[in-house]
Chains A and B, each alone.
Chain A
Amino acid sequence: MKVEDLIKTLSLTPFTGDIGTSRPVAGGYTGDLLSDVMGHSLAGQVWITLQTHKNVMAVASLRDLAAVIIVNGLKPNDDMLEQAAEENIPVLGTYESAFDVSGKLFKLLEK
């Protein structure tokens, strides 16, 4: 499964347009504490969070994550989007909660 498939299936807002949408998705990790994600996420996972600042992209890049999904209708800061473009990692959005979108992603990846 690729990021572009997630965008379609989960009706996500692609804040970064076409950037990185062909990246493969290997799983997901949900969390808002950067050190938690740094310590526990795995390469290729999608990060589900409510954080909207550019340090998210530093962690996503250092851990080789596939994409970031911002929950609850929150919008990414401009500097987060700039950093995302630089790192070629897509930032996506949903109005759903972290619980709901995590559950849907989990189901999708089970198939």
Chain B
Amino acid sequence: MQFEYFINGGDFSKAGQASSQFKKVLQQLNVAPHTIKRIVVALYEAEVNIVAHAFKGKISIELQPDLVSMLLTDEGPGIPDIEKAMEVGYSTASPKVREMGFGAGMGLSNIKNNADLLEITSIVGKGTTLKISVNLSKQE
């Protein structure tokens, strides 16, 4: 099954909607709660990153019986130093974004901790692509 969601940069009123919609799909398919949690944490953080940093983005999700593959591509500033961005506490978020409790520099590590695979590619001045996979076979 394929799913697509479009994200507008800067629109925090809709941040999390794609994750929420996809969570409902996973619940309807009776995916194990622990696995849903991992997928949703990773997807939400990646979705919020697009809202907080990019101009716009697209989420494409492929749902297979044993694997969820999520591809998030954005048009935005890109990440100059991915290794640095992965460090907990490192953030380039604006003060306004931080006031809301976002931009604490925990997003990418939350994704990494909950995903079975995370690949980040980025071109400065063009955008960033995240490939996130979570295995569905691990039942608790």
Contact = CB atoms under 8 A, between A and B. Distances in A.
B106 A59 contact: no
Interface in B24-48: 33, 37, 40-41, 44-45, 48
A35 B20 contact: no
Contacts of B40: 62-63
Nearest to A31: B101
Interface hub of A59, A62, A63 (most chain B Cβ within 10 A): A62
Interface of A: 32-36, 38-39, 43, 49, 51, 53-56, 58-59, 61-64, 79
Given A33-B104, A35-B45, A36-B104, 5 more contacts: A34-B102, A35-B104, A36-B106, A54-B13, A79-B13
20 contacts: A32-B101, A33-B104, A34-B48, A34-B104, A35-B102, A35-B104, A35-B106, A36-B106, A38-B110, A39-B110, A39-B113, A39-B114, A43-B37, A53-B12, A54-B13, A61-B20, A62-B19, A62-B23, A63-B40, A79-B13
Interface of B: 12-13, 15-17, 19-20, 23, 33, 37, 40-41, 44-45, 48, 100-102, 104, 106-107, 109-110, 113-114
